[in-house]
Chains A and B, each alone.
Chain A
Amino acid sequence: MTDALLDPRSIHLALVGAPNSGKTSLFNALTGSRQKVANYPGVTVERKAGAFVTPTGRQISLVDLPGTYSLRGRSPDEEITRDVVLGKFPGEALPDLVLCVADSTNLRLTFRLVLELKRTGRPLLVVLNMFDIAQRRGVSVDLEALSAALGVPVVTSIAVRKGGTAELIRLTEEFAAREQPATADNSWAPLSIFDLKALQREADRIIRDTVKLPSKPDSLTTRVDAVVLHPAAGLLILALILFVMFQAVFSWAQPLMEFLSDSFAALGTLVHDTLPDGLLQSFLQNGLIAGVGSVLVFLPQIVIIFLFILLLEDFGYMARAAFLMDRIMGGAGLHGRAFIPLLSSFACAIPGIMATRVIDNRRDRLTTILIAPLMTCSARIPVYTLIISAFIPATDVWGVFNLQGLVMFGLYAAGIGSALAMSFVIKFFMWRDYQPAPFMLELPDYKLPRPRSIAIGVYTRAKMFLHRAGTTILSMMVLIWFLASFPQPPAGAEGPAINYSLAAMIGHFLEPFFAPLGFNWQIAVALIPGMAAREVAVGALGTVYAIEGGKEAADAIGQALSSKWSLATALSFLAWFIFAPQCASTFAVIRRETGSTGWMVVTFLYMFALAYVASLITYNVAVAFGAG
């Protein structure tokens, strides 16, 4: 490792552990916000790396490897963990020290992994994480005896508590300061069933000799599960959680969003009043400020949805949701594990599609990838919110619900329903004679989420969204402003300037194709930059109408639309956005994940066909009911 040569004091760590071992919260505790999320080159498994400095000033870099129960590598994630630990992953430094993280309340599976890791010859340090919870439950560990039995140093940690990792850092420091011992030979080979059983027996023997376990399972988890995993009550609770989540996204974020949009409108007005009329004024107010503002406004909603997803995950509820949904999803030809990728797709299809790597079976994974873009991603929220608040009255329904919230719920339900139907179609036509893959998942004990860890998770995602807003979306906004502003109208021309622009030409060219859906040329124009990211369509509509209307501020897009569109057009536009193949990055990810352009084209075409037909039907039905 070149870094080590330049600075002999820095070392590189790798975190290895079973799923639910608290690896991620330990990683967050050690690195804080000093982390970088990227992809391993060539594959789309998430690579989480970070760094921290010890009290004595030593630089430590660490990487959080995908969770695994063994080095067998039965999924692409697990192969990465194996290859990095063995030093066989191209471009990845061989870790100087492997931290094997164990959930202290559940040592059996991790100890077998420790025994397997020992065979790789890498220096090891076993971290008994969540030690406070284990102690509270009556687990007691003879650390010295355990360390002797495993032949590996053992340290306890409480990732959630301040100073809970001090001992771990001290031991790492000691290790780094020592003369590096010649590493033992790597004698690891894939384990046979016989080896596997022998290792498990040895792990069980070590636990018997050194650990005192409580006789009773966690009573809180048992009591909660009695309700949460109940066949009827459990599904009801799941539906309730999802419903609360969507109401929250719609109503809690409202005050913050209004504040943001007011601020951007004020900034735009300030620029308008300060600068002389002309291209620069128009660019800053209508292109830059209005464009970025109309996207940034949705940050509160994205934060809320990720907050929910991360909270559910940290509570330990996600695995329960997969359990409850397994047969229901199975009926539609989906694997229970597909629930997590599909739920993540509510935030964004891209992490969702990437999360399908938890599904081992290729065909199950492919089905999940194909339908993931139908889940209502957060980029559709700006579009839905805009149209709903402009066209749907905020009346109470049955005194409890808000009509706007109900329409939002309906749009989400339409996405889910069509995804399940699509999966059924795929299963029926493509893989009729195929056995579904097994479903085997640990249901971890419930744990109180750690606020700091959740905060770091939400922060990382918000940063990713802002980064996207700052690059892709901003450049698209500048492009649409350019298309809408050039060429300038000839001297003495009549009507709004945009009627002479490139945007109008493209819009008029596409208009006949979209006319049956009730779309005017302005919508056709807005759909084009929407290909970069769905939410851009909102900013684009703002630009198109703001420029056309001359003085209309972009924060009044909704009012502008409600005066220019019929209800039928608005509903048709909503229907289009449920299905439309709108986001280019999603298709790039599908191509990468499936390793085939063919599947990407299939996804694009089927979504386009669904969107066109759905909008066509919606528009004509709405017109027939007099909403035209």
Chain B
Amino acid sequence: MDMPASDPAKLLLGNAPRGFCGTIHGLDVQAGGSSLSEVELESQLIEMGFVEGARVEILHEGAIRRDPIAVRVDNITIALRRREAMAVVVIR
């Protein structure tokens, strides 16, 4: 997978601001600082609907350090921390 930095349109969901709208480009579980193993994190993200092509929108963020975030993934809303959202590569 391309590094997000190489393409200005790509960024990590964990860095995106509130109101961000985009599409999932893929998962890059090595990018984040999650305490989960890579396989476990990737499985959990897929089970919650974070798959390539899904539409995402950051609806809300927490009061402290804008964390966690509530993300609309297609037609459901998932709450997660920015730390884990770093594993989701999105395109604007």
Q: Could you mark each residue 290-325 of chain A with 1 if its beta carbon is under 8 Å from any beta carbon of chain B, else 0?
A: 000000000000000000000000000001001110
Distance between A322 CB and nearest chain B CB, rounded to angstroms: 7
Check A440/B80 contact, CB under 8 A, given A108-B74, A213-B75, A229-B60. Answer: yes
Contacting residues, chain A, for B31 (C-beta < 8 A): none
Contacting residues, chain A, for B64 (C-beta < 8 A): 327-328, 331
Contacting residues, chain B, for A323 (C-beta < 8 A): 60, 62, 68, 70, 79
- A442 sits at the interface (CB 8 A): yes
A325: nearest chain-B partner, CB-CB: B62
A197 to B46, Cβ gap below 8 A?
yes
B75 to A106, Cβ gap below 8 A?
yes
B35 to A437, Cβ gap below 8 A?
yes
B83 to A443, Cβ gap below 8 A?
no
A322 to B47, Cβ gap below 8 A?
no
Q: Could you mark each residue 52-85 of chain B with 1 if its beta carbon is under 8 Å from any beta carbon of chain A, else 0?
A: 0000000111111101101010111111110110
Measured CA separation A436–B44 after assembly (Å): 16
Contacting residues, chain B, for A201 (C-beta < 8 A): 51
Contacting residues, chain A, for B43 (C-beta < 8 A): 70, 72, 191, 193, 196
A235 to B63, Cβ gap below 8 A?
yes
Measured CA separation A331–B35 after assembly (Å): 17
Partner of B70, one of A74, A191, A229: A229
B76 to A442, Cβ gap below 8 A?
yes
A442 to B36, Cβ gap below 8 A?
no
Distance between A102 CB and nearest chain B CB, rounded to angstroms: 12
Partner of B68, one of A109, A193, A326: A326
Contacting residues, chain A, for B70 (C-beta < 8 A): 225, 229, 323, 443
- A336 sits at the interface (CB 8 A): yes
- A438 sits at the interface (CB 8 A): yes
- A278 sits at the interface (CB 8 A): no
Contacting residues, chain B, for A439 (C-beta < 8 A): 68, 79-81, 84
Classify chain B: how many residues form its interface, as a range. Answer: 35 or more
Contacting residues, chain B, for A471 (C-beta < 8 A): none
Check A231/B35 contact, CB under 8 A, given A197-B51, A200-B46. Answer: no
- A219 sits at the interface (CB 8 A): no
A231 to B63, Cβ gap below 8 A?
yes
Measured CA separation A603–B73 after assembly (Å): 41
A327: nearest chain-B partner, CB-CB: B64
Which residues of A from 90 to 106 have beta carbons under 8 Å from B?
105-106
B71: nearest chain-A partner, CB-CB: A443
Contacting residues, chain B, for A204 (C-beta < 8 A): 51
- A189 sits at the interface (CB 8 A): no
A196 to B47, Cβ gap below 8 A?
yes
A234: nearest chain-B partner, CB-CB: B63
A441 to B80, Cβ gap below 8 A?
yes
Check A440/B84 contact, CB under 8 A, given A197-B51, A217-B75, A327-B67. Answer: yes
- A361 sits at the interface (CB 8 A): yes
Check A109/B81 contact, CB under 8 A, given A74-B40, A213-B75, A327-B65. Answer: no
Distance between A203 CB and nearest chain B CB, rounded to angstroms: 10
- B4 sits at the interface (CB 8 A): no
- B39 sits at the interface (CB 8 A): yes
B62 to A324, Cβ gap below 8 A?
yes
- A500 sits at the interface (CB 8 A): no
Contacting residues, chain A, for B62 (C-beta < 8 A): 231, 323-324, 326-327
Check A438/B36 contact, CB under 8 A, given A108-B74, A109-B48, A196-B46. Answer: yes
- B16 sits at the interface (CB 8 A): no
- A69 sits at the interface (CB 8 A): yes
Check A438/B63 contact, CB under 8 A, given A323-B79, A336-B68. Answer: no
A438 to B46, Cβ gap below 8 A?
no
B42 to A361, Cβ gap below 8 A?
no
B65: nearest chain-A partner, CB-CB: A327
Contacting residues, chain B, for A491 (C-beta < 8 A): none
Contacting residues, chain A, for B61 (C-beta < 8 A): 231
13 A-B pairs whose Cβ atoms sit less than 8 Å apart in the complex: A72-B47, A74-B40, A106-B76, A108-B74, A200-B46, A222-B59, A323-B79, A438-B83, A438-B84, A439-B80, A440-B48, A440-B78, A440-B84
> 5 nearest interchain CB pairs?
A231-B63, A435-B35, A327-B64, A229-B60, A443-B77
- In the complex, besides A439-B80, A443-B70, 12 extra interface pairs with C-beta distance below 8 angstroms are A108-B74, A108-B75, A200-B46, A322-B79, A326-B81, A327-B62, A440-B45, A440-B79, A440-B84, A441-B78, A441-B80, A443-B79
